[in-house]
Structure 1
Amino acid sequence: MTQNFKALVLTYKTAPVAVREQVSLAEPAVKQLLNFIRDYTTTSDVLVVSTCNRTEIYYVSEKDFSNEIFKGLALVKNIETGFEQHFSSISGLQAVNHLFEVAIGLDAQVIGDLQISGQVKNAYQWSADENMAGPFLHRLMHTIFFVNKRVVQETSFRDGAASISYAAKELADDLTTSVREPKVLVVGVGEIGQDVCLNLVNTKFQHVTILNRTLDKAEKLAQKCGFKSGSIEQLQEEIRKADVVISSVSGNEPLITREILKGISFLSHKFFIDLSMPRSIEASIEEIPGAIVYNLDDIQEKTNEAVEKRKASIPRIQAIIRDTIGEFEDWSKEMVVSPTIQKLKNTLEKIRQEELARFLKNSKPEEAEKLEEMSRSMMQKILKYPVLQLKAACKRGDAESLTEMLHELFNLERTAEKK
């Protein structure tokens, strides 16, 4: 089954931020796309991972459904075609390995970014919600989660602080080296916004204000961090005061626009860091003298001790992934013969029940118990060797001939039909 696992992949490596925001999918849109794929293709085990740095669609099928999936994506996002050229298509073990690397953080823009693990888990939950997660995807995802635990326990990959939000803090630090008591405005308290605020705690940034559409959330986070808070209606005034504005607000249209900045005098540089996807800060703001905008593509990985430790762990993590994928591949191959094994079990159980019924007619209760135990034990021993041989044949890649032989010997198709 692994050979039929396919992935359509668009990432920060293959597409600029303008394209990524075009195809970025929030939860409702992901579920719409999942339903489209279910209704217009014959694929199974579908996973849609969409973050600020990637949009990826995984599915299991012998047939290539790229065109149908792209049509669905264009329909859900109400966009013109042309984005397809930024997607690459991979399949088989390459697709499996890629999903491992994405979920663990090896393929993240900031290596080891913890947020991606949670985002992949959410994507898996959404697939399950829409009944698009089959046995293959369930097994694959839980295998990935297990590897994530091994990575934490056996390597230094999760040590230190390195993420998009941490990189944003580092960038703000660099931008304000010459500013005495810099003022920071954080807009939005989603997962990334919360992480930004937590990373600003106990730093040189003592004047931080948090704004959010839901005031209660901003107040709770501000109280936790020791910062100020306010409602989104104060946006223009707080931008006026701030040296650095960090935005991670979700929405289809920019929140911070040139219109909002009208009337604000820029006595010195004002820095805008946009962590949203789609972008929440209008790019044309940079046309205003003194305004400088940084988006996700501008946030470069900081060379620090935490990142270097993570890089040093990569060979060990890749070895863990290779070993685990080998075991997963064995399981995947065995899935092909599992229906035959089940049919064989059913056939032998039917024979056992028929013979047991014949001998139990005149037997005593204690004899019946012993016959039941003895016949069940004998059946399991008889079954053991064909099953072991089938699994061994799977690893050799020649299970088909043995499967056909068992069907002939035990008349499995007819048994299944009668049952």
Structure 2
Amino acid sequence: MYGHFKAITISHKNASLNIREQIALNEEECKNLMLKIRETFEVSETLVLSTCNRTEIYYYSENNISEEIIRLLASLKVLNSNEILPYFDFINDHNEAVNYLFEVAIGLQSQVVGDLQIPNQVKHAYQWSADMQMAGPFLHRLLHTIFFTNKRVVQETGFRDGAASTSYATVEVLESFLPLLTNPKILVIGSGEIGEDVCRTLADKNYQNITITNRTTAKAEALAQELGFRASDFQTVHEQILAADIVISSVRVEEPLITKNTLKKKSLAVKYLIDLSVPRSISPDVEELTGIVSYDLDEIQRRANEALQRRMDSVPQVRSLISDALVEFNNWSQEMIVSPTIQKLKGALEQIRKEEMARFLKDLSAEEAEKMEKITASMMQKVIKLPVLQLKAACKRGEAETLIDVLNDLFNLEKQTV
């Protein structure tokens, strides 16, 4: 039997946020799960990837233990395995699982196609596998091939161009203000899904002078503490608005929270307002005031949609690059299967050579023995050359296992150690 690559996945495509957040794993939990998989199933190569949109386990094994791994995961998270099992998809075909990891890592499977964060998230997951000594030859080669392909995608296509999500488009707009501001004070009103996404995007880009306010103060405080920002009481929101240089509002209100009246006491400095709320939380007429620049959700979404369309236009080119990489990787992967057999065959022939040499060395001078060593070693190289070439050719035809079995029988290779 030979190992095969498999994938277990739960994502935004098959589970709600409520389900995904119960299953999501932090770094310590990812490493702990890999350790348990190794101890329980003797699997030597595993990759665990967990983001806000997906939790996935990839493993290389001759056995299909996907359901057992889910039960192990459920045990670690103190969940009912029978309840969460239906939400998972299983990819048991080797080539499909390899292709799927390519598409995940490059962003074709992301909720926002071309997600800018996913390549680094996969790199972190790979580093954790390496830290736990759970990345062997197969995963090392696969992940490095993926990272190289991702580099080509960035350099040769428009797949990563622009901000294709609301949060990234918001920060892109915000960044257009920065040349005009020195260490701007940024206020984020609302820490719901959109507000939280914006805050996380700001944190990813290392912005610091940020205050979060929310009707539920505890929620704002928790997010602020996690990201290294400040939290303020919603009761003082109007004072915070006046103090900020940039205001991003994503709070649900019946009437606009920010109006001309709100801003009448503002300083002479230019103030930038971004409204991500529906209904709008910033009155459209605030731009009538001197020094107010305002953007609404439609403008932000238009930017995001334009970027998304550019990415979608690049998808065929991205898939072509992935296909090229898969051909190269699959050739290597097939050769990896026959590598132990080649080494055993070399060992078996070398043993025969040495045994025969030992029979005659006692009758030879040192000079003759040296010549005999060179002649027989050269002869063994020529003898083994054709079987090695035939094995590699059989790999490309998908017939390697048959030839491996024949060589095992002919040379009793099962008794050989690599």
Q: Same fold (TM over 0.5)?
A: yes
Correspondence for 1:337: 338
Distance 1:63 1:266, change over 3 A: same
Choose the corresponding residue for 2:140, options 114, 138, 141: 138
Point out where structure 1 has 5 or more consecutive residues left out of the alignment: 174-180, 201-207, 219-229, 247-255, 257-264, 271-285, 292-298
CA distance in 2, matches of 1:316, 1:103: 16
CA distance in 1, matches of 2:248, 2:224: 21
CA distance in 2, matches of 1:307, 1:345: 54
Which letter maps to 1:75? S
Which letter maps to 2:159? F
3-state SS of 2:59 partner: strand
Which letter maps to 2:380? M
Correspondence for 1:244: 248
The range that moved more, 132-141 or 232-241, is 232-241
Give 1 or 2 for the bigger CA radius of gyration: 2
Which letter maps to 1:385? L
Correspondence for 1:279: none
Correspondence for 1:184: 187
Q: Structure 2 matches for 1:11-410, cutoff 5 A?
A: 11-81=11-81, 82-92=83-93, 93-162=95-164, 165-169=167-171, 184-185=187-188, 192-195=201-204, 209-210=210-211, 232=230, 234=232, 241-242=240-241, 243-244=247-248, 268-269=256-257, 303-355=304-356, 362-363=364-365, 372-410=373-411
Deviation at 1:118, TM superposition (A): 0.6
Which letter maps to 2:115? D
Q: Is the 8 A contact 1:8 1:56 kept in 2?
A: yes
Deviation at 1:123, TM superposition (A): 0.7
CA distance in 2, matches of 1:13, 1:166: 21
Distance 1:62 1:384, change over 3 A: same
CA distance in 1, matches of 2:302, 2:350: 61
CA distance in 2, matches of 1:232, 1:114: 26
RMSD value, Cα: 4.2
Distance 1:375 1:147, change over 3 A: farther
Correspondence for 2:181: none
CA distance in 2, matches of 1:340, 1:377: 20
Deviation at 1:145, TM superposition (A): 1.4
CA distance in 1, matches of 2:128, 2:375: 47
CA distance in 1, matches of 2:385, 2:185: 72
3-state SS of 1:8 partner: strand
3-state SS of 1:56 partner: strand
Q: Is the 8 A contact 1:7 1:58 kept in 2?
A: yes
Structure with the larger RCO, 1 or 2 (CA within 8 Å, 6+ apart): 1
Q: Matched residue pairs, number?
A: 350
CA distance in 2, matches of 1:38, 1:300: 45
3-state SS of 2:314 partner: helix
Which letter maps to 2:55? T
Q: Is the 8 A contact 1:213 1:232 kept in 2?
A: no
3-state SS of 2:311 partner: helix
Which letter maps to 2:29? A
Q: Is the 8 A contact 2:129 2:135 kept in 1?
A: yes
Correspondence for 2:291: none
Q: Is the 8 A contact 1:188 1:210 kept in 2?
A: no
Q: Is the 8 A contact 2:12 2:111 kept in 1?
A: yes
Point out where structure 2 has 5 or more consecutive residues left out of the alignment: 176-183, 189-194, 213-220, 242-246, 259-276, 283-299
CA distance in 1, matches of 2:406, 2:27: 48
Q: Is the 8 A contact 1:2 1:332 kept in 2?
A: no
CA distance in 2, matches of 1:25, 1:118: 16
Q: Is the 8 A contact 1:112 1:163 kept in 2?
A: no
Q: Deviations over 1:110-163 (max 9, x none)?
A: 221221001001111112222222322222112211211222233232333446
Which letter maps to 2:187? V
Which letter maps to 2:101? L
Q: Deviations over 1:150-183 (max 9, x none)?
A: 222332323334467414537999xxxxxxx996
Which letter maps to 1:268? P
CA distance in 1, matches of 2:143, 2:304: 31
Distance 1:171 1:66, change over 3 A: farther
Deviation at 1:27, TM superposition (A): 0.4
Deviation at 1:266, TM superposition (A): 9.8
Q: Is the 8 A contact 1:48 1:56 kept in 2?
A: yes
Which letter maps to 2:4? N
CA distance in 1, matches of 2:132, 2:185: 47
Using the size of structure 2 for normalisation, the TM-score is 0.69
3-state SS of 1:7 partner: strand
Deviation at 1:8, TM superposition (A): 1.5
